[in-house]
Amino acid sequence: MARRKTPRLAYCEYVSPNPENSIQVKRARQWLFEAVKRVHPRFLRRLSSQVFPFYSQLAESGYKVARMAYSSKPYAVLTEDRGLKAALRKWAAEFNAESGWLLDDALRTLQGWYVTPEWRKSLKWNTVYTHSPSASTGKPFHFQSEGWETQLLTWATYRESVSERFEVKLLEYERETRKLAESCGLVRAQQKHSPDNFDWFVLYQFAGRSATEIAKEKYKGKYVEDADSAVLKGIKAAARLIGWDHLREPEIKRKRKIG
């Protein structure tokens, strides 16, 4: 059986180390909410049933919800009156989802649902992200060569000579531009990830399942040594990718068979 190929997470080579300005983190969070819809849609259904009505009431009362939702830190500027902030906080606490970026994106999601009811029906999560570019774009690449002297050289000889010099020049440009990117504080992007890790993170963090329960479901009918540890390792890998720094405490490890 062929090995399962994991999809590319980032389509660039360098990203910002700041999670809030990282293309990789933004993309990982999109993958996360695809996993939410797939394995624990109750997370979003509760947002729709328990929190959206408060948002809708504010919008209909003339409160500038759209301006608030698309500010840089909407949850921080949201006032305590009219019940929306309390409802959002209660929802987040129910699912162990008390993270600043997630609360901000939840408000942007509610705005999207208010403007486009079909998005609420499909439980579409916020896809609007801002990105502040850095001065890390390399200078234009130029390469020039003398023309082919047809009375002195064969095409094969000329082509080989030009190709060798082109590759040397291109390698120099690559090194120079990588040095520029790293001098701007950028870091190498992680090109691949395991989709299972996002599913496990959702089940563990938002659904409150233990690593043991997730492993039993994943490896049902089989004995897999240290399956609990493998699942927990995957959960932590997903947490790093989305910039999540407060995982639930894991259950006490116990030696047991899976199945």
Q: pLDDT digits over 202-256, tens only?
A: 999 999 999 989 998 887 756 667 888 899 999 999 999 999 988 988 655 444 4
pLDDT attached to residue 178: 95
Task: Look at the block and give the residue holding tokens 């064969």.
Answer: 154
- pLDDT of 257 higher than 70: no
**Cβ-based neighbours of 7, under 8 Å, separated by 6 or more:** 192, 193, 195
Q: Where are the alpha helices (DSSP H) in the chain?
A: 23-39, 42-46, 52-60, 65-69, 74-77, 84-94, 100-115, 117-122, 155-183, 195-201, 211-218, 227-242
- pLDDT of 259 higher than 60: no
pLDDT attached to residue 134: 65
Q: What is the pLDDT of residues 63-120, one digit of tens each?
A: 888 888 888 899 999 989 889 999 999 999 999 999 999 999 999 999 999 999 999 9
The sign one gets for the Cα dihedral 221, 226, 1, 197 is: positive
pLDDT attached to residue 161: 97
The CB density around residue 207, as the number of other CB atoms within 10 Å, is 17
pLDDT attached to residue 7: 64
Average pLDDT over residues 48-59: 96
**47 or 228, which is more confident:** 47
How far is the CA of 11 from the CAs of 14, 140, 243, in angstroms?
9, 21, 19
**40 or 221, which is more confident:** 40
